[in-house]
Structure 1
Amino acid sequence: MTLSNIVVSLDLGDAATDRVRLAAALAERFGATLTGVAAREILAPMLADDTLAIERIFEEEERLAREQIAQAGTLFERAAGAAPRTDWHAALAPPLSVLVEGARRADLVVVGRQGPADGDPGLLAVPSGALLMAVGRPVLVVPPGLARLSGKRIVVAWKDTREARRAVHDALPFLTRAERAFVVAVGPDARHEGAEGTAA
């Protein structure tokens, strides 16, 4: 099993460049196409009595949205240098729905982590939790400051469930290239067959 298309979510946060570089390095490693995706919804203007004022506000909001998407596209072009092939998809629409749609053709989706300490990625950002529930594809959630992923040693948290089996299957491109892989199980049903060490 290999990865042929990696999709990376673009926003204008501080961590976006590192995220694209990480995704580009993975695309280079697997010989995959790297597809950048950026979207921004045009925010509806507040209600007002003056129709012309509403139109002007909407036009300004649309201009700003297009400008931010263009900035994300420029960032993608600059940071995706290691990828053997690239593609770009952008839309004036909710970022989550655009990324979910774009991920239908993906083997891996790379998205930024969003937490209180991760900075403000702006209106192009995709919430990773909502993406995990909606996308139906393997998702790599990248924390800020991480621009490479070696994957030499991998730990698999195992429980004999459908979800764990699916997760291991989706991780096979990384597992088959790892120098070492460790399987960890905890709880009353955990067994130690084949373990190199002893349980603590």
Structure 2
Amino acid sequence: MTYKTILAVMESPTQAGGFLDYAVEIVRSFDAHVIGLHAETVNPTPIIAPMEIPDPISIQSLQDMAEKRSAELGDIFNKRAAREGISYEWRKIVSASGFSGSSVIDSARSCDLIIAPQVSPDAPGDARADFESFLFESGRPVLLVPHVDKVAKPFNRVMVAWNGSREAARATFDALPFLKKAGEVEIFSVNPHDSKDQESGLTGAEIASTLSRHGVNVTATSAHADKAKAATIIENRLSDNSVDLLVMGAYTHSRLWELLFGGVTRTLLESMTAATLMSR
């Protein structure tokens, strides 16, 4: 397994820095083709003029702004990709549905990997929800790049947040191309429970054995803390071990961005100290 078609989601001109550095390095390391994508939402709600009819001038102005923003992002992406000499193409989709549109989802589902920027906590609620829904409805692994990373770095140290769930297994195997290239991979379990088939101390041992057969340099560890939150334990581990990539499973339930450890996904993704690959 490898990544041969990668979708890079462009949302802001600020992505000309660290985000595109990551995208270019990953595309190059896997000799892949990259698709730059921007989905722009144009508000379909009629703007009412004093005569209570749609105001065509205002509507056209919104469309023009959307086209200008898409053109700017396309120019940034195309110039960088051409300069790097990688295989690439650019897609802009301007519609009333934005990232929730079927054409955007279709583009994502035909890719091996999605690379996207960390979702800004300051983004409007509706826009944030649409973007989050797109990432997980795509059915593809999503690599989120932190805003704080201004320069790309290799994923030499990787940590897999593991509890044996379907989501954790999916994320682990979706990340296998990165795991095989990494120098160190840690299977990390927080407050694992005993089961009738396995003692808590052995949690992660079996998946570690499986990964080792793929040539992954892997170890399995666990942490126990009576009152500490899972997010805090994971964040501390990321910092203490200078982890470059966090791999974790996620699922949607009553709310978006729920994590296999019991709903700490948003905490982790808002603080993001490491690039994070998620699957569900």
Evaluate the alpha carbon distance shift between residue 49 and residue 66 of structure 1 in structure 2; reply closer, same or farther with a 3 A threshold.
same
Give TM-score, length-normalised by structure 1: 0.84
**Could you tell me which residue of structure 1 aligns to residue 132 of structure 2?**
129
Paired letter, 1:86: Y
Evaluate the alpha carbon distance shift between residue 159 and residue 120 of structure 1 in structure 2; reply closer, same or farther with a 3 A threshold.
closer
Match of 1:150 among 154, 158, 174: 154
Q: Could you list the runs of 5+ residues in structure 1 that have no partner in the other structure?
A: none
**Could you tell me which residue of structure 1 aligns to residue 76 of structure 2?**
75
Paired letter, 1:96: F
1:100, distance to aligned residue in structure 2 (A): 2.3
Evaluate the alpha carbon distance shift between residue 67 and residue 126 of structure 1 in structure 2; reply closer, same or farther with a 3 A threshold.
farther
What is the CA–CA distance in structure 2 between the aligned matches of 1:67 and 1:124, rounded to whole Å? 19
Calculate percent identity across the aligned residue pairs.
Answer: 26
**Could you tell me which residue of structure 2 aligns to residue 95 of structure 1?**
98
Q: Deviations over 1:102-160 (max 9, x none)?
A: 111111111111233xx669x99885532343111000111114231411111111111
Q: Could you list the runs of 5+ residues in structure 2 that have no partner in the other structure?
A: 195-199, 210-218, 225-280
Evaluate the alpha carbon distance shift between residue 183 and residue 163 of structure 1 in structure 2; reply closer, same or farther with a 3 A threshold.
same
**Could you tell me which residue of structure 2 aligns to residue 191 of structure 1?**
201
**Could you tell me which residue of structure 1 aligns to residue 34 of structure 2?**
34
What is the CA–CA distance in structure 1 between the aligned matches of 2:123 and 2:85, rounded to whole Å? 27
Evaluate the alpha carbon distance shift between residue 155 and residue 197 of structure 1 in structure 2; reply closer, same or farther with a 3 A threshold.
closer
Q: Deviations over 1:20-67 (max 9, x none)?
A: 221111000100001100121222342224478711111222111111
Paired letter, 2:114: V
Aligned pair count reads 197
**Could you tell me which residue of structure 2 aligns to residue 61 of structure 1?**
62
- Structure with the greater relative contact order (CA < 8 A, sep ≥ 6): 1 or 2? 1
**Stretch of structure 1 that moved more, 29-38 or 186-195:** 186-195
**Could you tell me which residue of structure 1 aligns to residue 114 of structure 2?**
109
What is the CA–CA distance in structure 2 between the aligned matches of 1:132 and 1:150, rounded to whole Å? 23
Match of 1:169 among 169, 173, 189: 173
What is the CA–CA distance in structure 2 between the aligned matches of 1:20 and 1:197, rounded to whole Å? 33
